Chains A and B, each alone.
Chain A
């Protein structure tokens, strides 16, 4: 029933949403409102969650702040609207939020409904497996015959089945209705291994009674590219959101950081000069000012800084860059040049 309602709503949303196609451009709306409405995760640590003081923090949250910095020169002009997985796309289509940065997985079924447009990938996630150290396993290939805890009814279960079938490994699935039950069962020794997305696996590990007795295996057994979405009726806005990410990547590649961005203004490197708007006026094509990238880096920082602060080494999660390293370091994060 709920599925039916939500399907009906999605259809209605796309019908009415496209009726609004002639509505003023998103950028103008954001400017006249004086704040960016950003669809956020109600609570995923490292990506979007309120901290002890109730301030929003996370990788997705910093993306929103970067967009606000580019538009207003003030990263604080964001209104975070927490959305459940169920109504995130409807809220975007209905115009409740200007951009949805809520660890949504870029799959064909999420990409094809009318009205939605994936902007890019700000985090390459994937499913991983955690085991007890004393099991002595260092690779998934050694897990044949193991019992594995997973949450029931999620893609986690399906990915696990796919991967083990392809690699001709046997396993016993022990599934539970909620994530909390699943991790508890693993902690109690009901199964040998525990699986979920790598990004939350590290946070889940901390809930165990002795986190150091457990390790995450290196193999990533599924592809979960997470990225922001916009509506598909405003290509200027789409490009703006996309280039905010690219600017942060280019800044990291060129070694421009929050701390040294002011010295970099005097740099002789033409690429840096173009990035910071000293040569050329590339921001104007996006409806922004020349110094759009400078504003982002000055207030939020480059992608690497943002990553380390929210999910990486300087955060509690301590995740490795892995696939999210720059292409120059063997990762997948690659940005077109600013030229």
Chain B
């Protein structure tokens, strides 16, 4: 039906012009409707809304007053945060956090050497941004940096001493040797061309080892730069050994979490594959490891590592007190990660495996190209869940005498310099903010990854 026929319709009861557009009724659109639909859609929801409003209204002003309005922001000692000294009600004592911030970050790490920790923090931040920012260039280089160069540099910088310097020297020699081999290989086509005549040059260049080595060029150069920089630092300023007993604060918290996260993912994948393997010995080993580790609490593992291990190992060979919980945490996270990933593997339809095999892919290619990318995507929430759990579990190392971030706060709470009625609440509030920001950041990032990867499957 066209406009023309409508125009000519002889019936009087047919409207000839369209109605004025009207706003949607208030009960369907607009803020009022939103409130009604989301907050007061039924008696139960109305009740819950009122309850929440009541809780927020009674607690929020009090919290804001305590943590912001009445808070003390500057001061040198407890006098600044005592109500009868400052003559007004005193809330949170942020001056205490400001005063002890250095200790919360570095623990007992010697003051003159703290720049080393700062470099490690900067390197860590660079690595994290490189790995997590989707548009970052040269991802493969970033991968190499994050999993090889950064851990070595962190070890060298944080620990220092003769062993670290030897490591830098060896790293430099190794990357120099690789660079030399690379340079030699890059001359092969020219030499061959010289002897065989340039007619064959194209063929030779095609078959040149350089073609296969073009990837590592950047890696070798990068390694050379990093080791060179470390070598310069070690020889000019010097990197005296800082015993792990002196490490503490956020440094240790990040260290334990990073080691746990970096180790647990690859080992978890291997364990998950092992558990689903058809080879009986590999399967048995994986099952025993996973079930054993999952069957004991982390506290027990840490406790055993710190009290039993020294009984069986001669004192000179007993591992470092910080290394023990690091290994414990990594093992622990790997076992849990394995089960998460196994869930993803089991969710894959059989057709995917058969399809991959019918393409002629071997086991590792099939896993790498077809199965794991899909399986891992399915279990991203589970993986991040494990990471967050791991991050919070790092506080358990307190019981084996390691001063992690939370322990440094507790250590300052006994100090009379800042002993006031509100110090405890302030310290724990600071810890809560720190842990919340870290965990919330991880969770937000995982949500964005999930959304990006699941774009094709959005329902």
Q: A: which residues have CB within 8 A of B?
A: 5, 9, 12-13, 16-17, 23, 29, 42-45, 49-56, 79-84, 87, 90-91, 94-96, 180, 184, 187, 203, 206-210, 316-317
* Contact A83 to B411, CB < 8 A, known contacts A54-B248, A96-B310: no
Q: Are A9 and B103 in contact (CB under 8 A)?
A: no
- A297–B185 Cα gap in the complex (Å)? 67
List residues of B (388-407) whose CB comes within 8 Å of A's CBs. 399, 401, 403, 407
Question: What CA separation (Å) do A316 and B410 show in the bound complex?
Answer: 18
B416 proximity list for chain A (CB < 8 A): 45, 203, 206, 316-317
A334 to B310, CA, bound (A): 37
Q: How far, in whole Å, are A42 and B397 apart by their CA atoms in the complex?
A: 13
Contact of B419 among A44, A49, A54, A207 (CB under 8 A): A207
- Chain A residues within an 8 Å CB radius of B421: 184, 187, 207-209
Assess whether A49 is in contact with B415, with CB atoms less than 8 Å apart: yes
Given pairs A23-B315, A42-B403, 9 additional interface contacts (CB within 8 A): A13-B307, A52-B415, A53-B111, A54-B103, A80-B245, A82-B403, A87-B307, A209-B421, A316-B416
Say yes or no: A9 contacts B415, CB within 8 Å.
no
Interface size class of B (residues with CB under 8 A): 35 or more
Are A49 and B414 CB-contacts (below 8 A) given A81-B245, A209-B83, A210-B84? Answer: yes
Chain A neighbourhood of B414, CB < 8 A: 43-45, 49, 203
Q: Is B54 an interface residue (CB 8 A)?
A: no
Q: Mark B97-113, 1 if CB is under 8 A from A, else 0.
A: 00110110011110100
Centre residue among B108, B109, B307, B423 by max chain A CB count within 10 A: B307
Is the CB of B78 closer than 8 A to any CB of chain A?
Answer: yes
Q: Which 3 residue pairs spanning A and B have beta carbons closest together?
A: A54-B108, A206-B419, A16-B311
- Of B307, B312, B424, which one neighbours A91 at CB under 8 angstroms? B307
- Chain A CB within 8 A of B82 CB: yes
Is the Cβ of B419 less than 8 Å from the Cβ of A203? Answer: yes
Docked pose: A136 CA to B172 CA in angstroms: 75
Collect the chain B residues with CB atoms within 8 Å of residue A54's CB.
103, 106-109, 246, 248
CB <8 Å contact, A207 and B420? yes
Contacts of B291 in A (CB 8 A): none
- Cβ B312 vs Cβ A16 within 8 A: yes
Complex Cα distance, B99 from A161, in Å, reads: 42
A316–B108 alpha-carbon span in the complex (Å):
21
Q: Does B306 interact with chain A (Cβ within 8 Å)?
A: yes
User: A53 and B103: CB pair below 8 A?
Assistant: yes
Contact B306 A52 (CB under 8 A): no
- Which residues of chain A have C-beta atoms less than 8 A from B103's C-beta? 50, 52-54
Best-surrounded residue of A23, A83, A206 (most CB of chain B within 10 A): A206
Kindly list chain B residues whose C-beta atoms are within 8 Å of the C-beta of A81. Answer: 245, 321, 401
Which residues of the partner chain A approach B415 to less than 8 Å between Cβ atoms? 45, 49, 51-52
Question: A45: nearest residue on chain B (CB-CB)?
Answer: B414
The answer to whether B8 has its CB under 8 Å from any CB of chain A is no
CB-defined contacts of A317 to chain B, threshold 8 Å? 416
Q: Is the CB of B243 within 8 A of A79?
A: yes
Neighbouring A residues of B106 by C-beta, 8 Å: 54
B109 surroundings in chain A (CB, below 8 A): 54
Max count, chain A CB within 10 A of own CB: residue among B102, B109, B248, B308: B308
A126 to chain B, nearest CB (A): 20
How many angstroms from the CA of A312 to the CA of B221 in the assembled complex? 60
A184 surroundings in chain B (CB, below 8 A) = 421
Q: How far is the CB of B136 from chain A (nearest CB, A)?
A: 36
Question: Complex Cα distance A320/B102, Å?
Answer: 33
Q: Decide yes or no whether B218 CB sits under 8 A from chain A.
A: no
Residues 135-155 of chain B, each 1 if its beta carbon lies under 8 Å from chain A, else 0: 000000000000000000000
Given the contacts A50-B103, A187-B421, A209-B82, A90 and B307 also touching, CB distance less than 8 Å: yes
Q: How far is the CB of B251 from chain A (nearest CB, A)?
A: 11
Q: Does B277 have its Cβ within 8 Å of any Cβ on chain A?
A: no
What residues of A have a CB within 8 angstroms of the CB of B300 in the complex? Answer: 5
Residues of chain A contacted by B108 (CB below 8 angstroms): 50, 53-56
Q: Determine if A9 and B308 form an interchain contact, defined as CB atoms under 8 angstroms apart.
A: yes
Q: In the complex, are the beta carbons of A29 and B315 less than 8 A apart?
A: yes
Q: What residues of chain A lie closer than 8 Å to B423, measured between beta carbons?
A: 207
User: Smallest CB-CB separation from A86: which chain B residue?
Assistant: B399
Contacts of B419 in A (CB 8 A): 203, 206-207
Bound form: Cα–Cα A18–B345 in Å: 51
Tell me which residues across on chain B come within 8 A of A209, comparing CB atoms: 82-84, 420-421
B157-168 near A? 1/0 per residue, CB < 8 Å: 000000000000
Contact of B100 among A42, A52, A95 (CB under 8 A): A52
**A60 CB to closest chain B CB, in angstroms?**
14
Residues A42 and B310 in contact in the complex (CB < 8 Å), given A54-B106, A54-B248 = no
Nearest-CB distance from B372 to chain A (Å)? 39
Contact code string B425-439 (vs A, CB < 8 Å = 1, else 0): 000000000000000
A55 to chain B: which residues have CB within 8 Å?
108
Chain B stretch 122-146: residues in CB contact (< 8 A) with chain A: none
CA distance A9 to B407 in the complex (A): 25
Closest-by-CB residue of A relative to B100 is: A52
B49 on the interface (CB 8 Å rule)? no
Given A49-B414, A54-B248, A207-B421, is A87 in contact with B308 using a C-beta cutoff of 8 Å? no
Q: Is the CB of A79 within 8 A of B245?
A: yes
Contact for A95 among B83, B308, B315, CB less than 8 A: B315
Residues on the B chain within 8 Å of A187, using CB: 421
Residue numbers in B under 8 Å from A206 (CB-CB) = 78, 416, 419-420
B417 contacts chain A at the CB level, 8 A cutoff: yes
Contact residues in A for B420 (Cβ distance below 8 Å): 206-207, 209
User: A180 touches which one: B83, B245, B424 (CB < 8 A)?
Assistant: B424
Tell me the bound Cα distance from A12 to B421 in angstroms. Answer: 43
Q: Are A52 and B401 in contact (CB under 8 A)?
A: no
Tell me, rounded to whole Å, the shortest Cβ–Cβ distance linking B81 to chain A. 10
Complex Cα–Cα for A50 and B407 (A):
11
Closest Cβ of chain B: how far from A308's Cβ, in Å? Answer: 16
Q: A32: nearest residue on chain B (CB-CB)?
A: B316
Complex interface bits, B56-69 against A, C-beta within 8 A gives 1, otherwise 0: 00000000000000
- Bound CA span A54–B310, Å: 27
Distance between Cα atoms of A79 and B241 in the complex (Å): 13
Q: Measured between C-beta atoms, what is the minimum distance from A36 to chain B in Å?
A: 12
Partner pick for B417 among A9, A52, A79, CB 8 A cutoff: A52
Instruction: Given A53-B103, A81-B401, decide whether A13 and B245 contact each other with a Cβ distance below 8 A.
Output: no
> Given the complex of chains A and B, what is the CA–CA distance between A84 and B43 in angstroms?
53
- Of chain A, the residue at the smallest CB distance from B424 is A180
Listed by A's residue number, 7 A-B pairs whose Cβ atoms lie within 8 Å are: A16-B312, A45-B416, A50-B403, A79-B243, A207-B423, A209-B82, A209-B420
Q: Which residue of A lies closest to B78 (CB)?
A: A206
Smallest CB gap from A82: residue in B: B401
Residues of A with C-beta under 8 A to B84:
209-210
Given contacts A81-B401, A95-B315, whether A42 and B411 have CB atoms under 8 Å apart is: yes
B99 x A52 contact (CB < 8 A): yes
Instruction: Output the residue of B107, B108, B245, B414 with the most chain A CB within 10 A.
Output: B414
Residues on A with C-beta less than 8 A from B246 are 54
Within the complex, what minimum Cβ distance (angstroms) separates B124 from chain A?
Answer: 21
